[in-house]
Amino acid sequence: MNIELPPRRQLPPEIKERMRPTITRARPRGRAWMGAAAAAALVITGGVFLTQSTQQHEPAPFAAVSADLARCREALRDDRWSVVNTLELRARKVLVGIDGRLCELTRTRVTAFDAAGATAVRTPSGLVVGRPPVQARSMTAHQHDPAAPRADWSPPTVITLDLFLVDADPTKPENSTLTMEFDGHQVQLTFGDIPVRGTPQDSYSNDASTAHSANLLDRCLDNAIPKRAAPGFENDWQAGAMTGVPGVLLARNGKGDWGVCEVDDAGSGALTGTIARNPAASGVEVLHRGWVAGTGTFTIAGLAPAGTKVELDLGGGTVLAPPLPITLGSFALQHRFAPAANPPAGAMIKLVNSANEVIYIAPVA
């Protein structure tokens, strides 16, 4: 027997809205982010948790990782600080506290800050953080430099009902503009008028030593964020060979590309770039070579097969054979000539494979 059902009816919009999945959570207390006039337009209401991401950058899970929470509590000096939201964009996390305070985490730094009295604020790493207009579900951003319009670009963004992040380029001049569009509504800010909030504190995840190779690599990657020196810095990286400090550190990412970072007594520089692995038939590729004038220090680093040895031929029958550890298929050598002067004329460096064949030779000077 066939039963004739009545035609399907569309639910009214207000009923659909109430049926959306919700996440119950405490609302921020204490200081408001913005002045009264701005708050009237921008404070978010309702319990719907909505995420919208652009350029394939997904927000992090809602619950903060315990290690992240511990780092933020230490920076805030508040063991009872609670989190209501966590967002992530280009190797940085922003934790939103129940009291409205914010915490930015990078690999080696933590910054506690707030956005009180401002439409948006900048973090020391270059993120622009603020509250979106009510019920805004999508956003785009555009940076314009009037002196170099061809260098304009659209930075990645993340938006929820509570917060937006823009990975603005901090190297843009103060008179450049940042235009944000929320569901067709534009907000334009002069870059120099966006206040920078918070002071970053060192917060290493491996151990307390800044000379630890993993910590040095993490700091190199952090330093590459504002400089945008390493396009692949978000990928998983492993520390390869390194010299002493000061010196250089090599690193390899999950794609097999290599990066070079100069490190010094203060910590490290930035990962200066990713270099596609393209060794010669011998298996050797030199990625870094340097001579520090006045110190007599020679540095060379690159890729080499396992079992490679090094010889420094100083002429006159003097040949040095310092140890050359191979880490992840990479080597790094630093030699200081004494006294601090130029190397002897005609000094050569040789790399020799396990069959005692010379696979690389070049002048030291």
pLDDT for residue 226: 72
The conformational region for residue 292 under phi > 0 = left, psi -120 to 50 = alpha, else beta, is: beta
The conformational region for residue 158 under phi > 0 = left, psi -120 to 50 = alpha, else beta, is: beta
Give backbone dihedrals phi and psi of 231, rounded to 5 degrees, phi first. Answer: -55, -30
pLDDT for residue 55: 41
One digit per residue, the tens of pLDDT, for the chain of length 365 reads 454 545 555 555 554 444 443 333 333 433 333 333 332 222 222 222 233 333 434 444 445 678 899 999 999 999 999 999 999 998 899 999 999 999 999 988 999 999 888 889 999 888 999 999 988 999 999 999 999 888 888 999 999 988 999 999 888 899 999 999 999 899 999 999 999 999 999 887 666 566 678 888 888 888 887 766 555 666 688 999 998 878 899 998 888 888 898 887 665 666 765 566 666 677 899 999 988 767 778 899 999 999 999 999 888 788 889 999 999 999 999 988 766 567 777 889 999 999 999 999 998 87
pLDDT for residue 22: 34
| Rounded distance between C-alpha atoms, residue 115 and residue 39, angstroms | 12
For 132, which DSSP code?
Answer: P
- Could you give the residue range(s) of every CATH 2.60.40.10 domain in the chain? 209-363
pLDDT for residue 21: 38
Q: Which CATH class is domain 209-363?
A: mainly beta
Answer whether 249's CB lies under 8 Å from 328's CB: no
pLDDT for residue 10: 57
Give backbone dihedrals phi and psi of 230, rounded to 5 degrees, phi first. Answer: -125, 100
Give backbone dihedrals phi and psi of 112, rounded to 5 degrees, phi first. Answer: -95, 135
Model-level pTM? 0.74
